[in-house]
A and B are shown apart, each in its own frame.
Chain A
Amino acid sequence: MRPGRGIVRFLRAMVGRSYPRIIGSNRDKSWLFYDTVLPLLGTIAFVYVYKTLGAPERFVGYVIMGGATTAFWMNVMWSMAAQFYWEKQGGNLELYLMMPCGLTPILLGMSLGGLVATLLRAILIVSLGSLLFHVSYTLRQIPLFLLIFAVTVVALYGLGVVFASLFLFWGREAWHTVNLFMEPVFLASGFYFPVRALGFWVGWGRRSSP
């Protein structure tokens, strides 16, 4: 048996790097509380905010979906960007940089592991939220849904790589930069309350940004 090269090594390296992320979720169950119950509590709070504002019933479903996608957002902003920083601090990044497989499969493995773990969290948030508030979803265009989901995830991970680079350049300073970005994004996404409540122009401005 000989060591693989090319695509074989690329795939092996990717699977190898995704392994700690996937097995880690299974081994340390504390994430079930921190990454599922806590975001769910936040989501529940905002469901009640929307209900108090007299939003239509379908908005409950939107909030739950928003809560689930927040899991991806958090994963990209924190887990991926900060992970890169911690990899550097722990000495892994140096080793990764000198691996013959190159950095790309290692980064993809890192993302793959994060995606699997986050997907699981998002599914749990949607399932529990829907169960609690008796929300049902009708998926009419599954291929379109999957396409939008895939495009969103790719876009988010692209953003994650940008932030990962910022973390590498600026270290802890980037931590604060990310903090600075978090709240405006939550606010503009309508996660806290419908943005239109801030007036027509704010709502229009929000809708015109991606």
Chain B
Amino acid sequence: MRGEGTNPSYGMKDLAVETKDLVRVYRRRGSSKNSQDSRIVALDGVTLEIPYGELFGLLGPNGAGKTTLIKILVTLLLPTSGTARVAGLDVVEQAHQVRELISMVSGGEHSGYGLLTVREQLWMFSQFYGLPTRLALARIDELLRIVGLYDERNRRVSDLSTGMRQKMNLVRGLLSDPLVFFLDEPTVGLDVSAARDIRAYIREWIREKPGRTILLTTHYMHEAEELCDRVAIIHKGRIIASDTPSALRRNAAGGSYFLLTTEHLPDGGWLKEVPGVRRVDTRALDGRTEIRLQLAEDGVIAGVVKALADRDRKIYSLTKVEPSLEDVFIQIVGRRLEEVDEAG
């Protein structure tokens, strides 16, 4: 029986995922064991507590350690040190029991076989969970209807678009009705519409299945902000902040944020010289320039407006905005997430 003895509804443990001082070190191939250069610390003492029923987001740039953490939790990778428990079960000592309760879907996943139809492929995976064929097919059809893929059920997997394929993967992950569902960058590489659909199904699933838990990794700020009850920001293998998105914005971002649209401004860097301006991000927008400003306090905006007026720059709009998770990330890490990605 699913989750018996582990779900809070059964009166036992109350954490779906729990890690303590989790460390994972990789060694580069071909390097000597004792060399410091040969060690890559993917996780550096990660401690997390995720209660049942939560949609928890792990946000971080590429190489931050998100996938390593998920792989340890789904029993694919051993930790170097520290402990990890899923549904109260140790992922190393009780890996087999953990596998009964979890499922994982990754972004850009090309699992399965192109020669099979969508329905056949999903049936094949259902057999690995031991589902009787009649039950499996009924569940497959129901889930395909929910994700809008029912009309494609007899289409070959190789003929599916990337978005359709990811919806099918999502169905595959839900076939076993997992207690803890791991989603590793589920919308990566998808177009806007397909990504929106996937996010909608994720939200819908957790709403309809109280007590189920999702751990989602992403490097899309808006995705974490839109979906997650709580978010942890991971950078260089360490959790550097963890809270609800609103609390993170409130506590970690700091200062005031304004969005200002002006006529084309090739270089807005000089705005940093205005006293109280902490950060200036510009982007071109239909012949105009959109400037996102982080200021020490609201009053600083007067100095910014004056500085633009002194340079004969028209201001088309000026709005005070709430800080985003991206602002939080910048505040903590010192760079934008994309900049960290590019820097490797």
- Whether the Cβ atoms of B115 and A100 lie closer than 8 Å is no
What sequence of 0s and 1s flags, for each residue 63-106 of chain B, a beta carbon within 8 Å of any chain A beta carbon?
Answer: 00000000000111000000000000000000010011010101
- Whether the Cβ atoms of B124 and A19 lie closer than 8 Å is yes
- Whether the Cβ atoms of B111 and A100 lie closer than 8 Å is no
- Whether the Cβ atoms of A24 and B134 lie closer than 8 Å is no
| Least CB separation from B100: chain A residue | A100
8 additional A-B residue pairs with CB within 8 Å, beyond A1-B135, A98-B74, A100-B96: A4-B131, A24-B113, A94-B76, A95-B125, A97-B75, A98-B102, A100-B129, A101-B130
Tell me the bound Cα distance from A24 to B112 in angstroms.
12
Tell me the bound Cα distance from A87 to B104 in angstroms.
17
Tell me the chain B residues, 180-212 only, with Cβ under 8 Å from chain A: none
- Whether the Cβ atoms of A20 and B100 lie closer than 8 Å is no
* B126 interfacial by beta-carbon distance below 8 Å: yes
- Whether the Cβ atoms of A3 and B130 lie closer than 8 Å is yes
Number of A residues contacting the other chain (C-beta, 8 Å)? 30
- Whether the Cβ atoms of A99 and B124 lie closer than 8 Å is no
Query: Contact residue range for chain B?
Result: 20 to 34
Tell me the bound Cα distance from A92 to B110 in angstroms.
8
CB distance from A138 to the nearest CB of B (A): 40
CB distance from B96 to the nearest CB of A (A): 7
CB distance from B113 to the nearest CB of A (A): 4
| Least CB separation from A97: chain B residue | B76
* A9 interfacial by beta-carbon distance below 8 Å: yes
CB distance from A116 to the nearest CB of B (A): 15
Interface residues, chain A, with chain B CB atoms under 8 Å away: 1, 3-5, 8-9, 12-13, 15-17, 19-20, 23-24, 27-28, 90-92, 94-102, 106
Tell me the bound Cα distance from A75 to B126 in angstroms.
27
User: Which A residues are CB-close (under 8 A) to B111?
Assistant: 90-92, 95
User: Which B residues are CB-close (under 8 A) to A28?
Assistant: 115
Interface residues, chain B, with chain A CB atoms under 8 Å away: 74-76, 96, 99-100, 102, 104, 106, 109-113, 115-116, 120, 123-132, 134-135, 176
| Least CB separation from B112: chain A residue | A92
Tell me the bound Cα distance from A188 to B91 in angstroms.
48
Chain A, interface SS category: helix
User: Which B residues are CB-close (under 8 A) to A9?
Assistant: 129-130
Tell me the bound Cα distance from A16 to B102 in angstroms.
20
- Whether the Cβ atoms of A91 and B115 lie closer than 8 Å is no
User: Which A residues are CB-close (under 8 A) to B109?
Assistant: 91
Instruction: For B115, give its contact among A5, A13, A27, A106 (CB under 8 Å).
Output: A27
- Whether the Cβ atoms of A13 and B128 lie closer than 8 Å is yes
Tell me the bound Cα distance from A5 to B176 in angstroms.
13
Tell me the bound Cα distance from A100 to B175 in angstroms.
13
- Whether the Cβ atoms of A23 and B120 lie closer than 8 Å is yes
- Whether the Cβ atoms of A99 and B99 lie closer than 8 Å is yes
Instruction: For A100, give its contact among B106, B128, B132 (CB under 8 Å).
Output: B128
- Whether the Cβ atoms of A98 and B76 lie closer than 8 Å is yes
| Least CB separation from B123: chain A residue | A16
Instruction: For B124, give its contact among A4, A8, A16, A27 (CB under 8 Å).
Output: A16
Tell me the bound Cα distance from A35 to B106 in angstroms.
35
- Whether the Cβ atoms of A101 and B134 lie closer than 8 Å is no
Tell me the bound Cα distance from A138 to B65 in angstroms.
65
- Whether the Cβ atoms of A17 and B124 lie closer than 8 Å is yes
- Whether the Cβ atoms of A100 and B134 lie closer than 8 Å is no
CB distance from B69 to the nearest CB of A (A): 15
Tell me the bound Cα distance from A71 to B125 in angstroms.
29
User: Which B residues are CB-close (under 8 A) to A100?
Assistant: 96, 99-100, 128-130, 176
CB distance from A26 to the nearest CB of B (A): 9
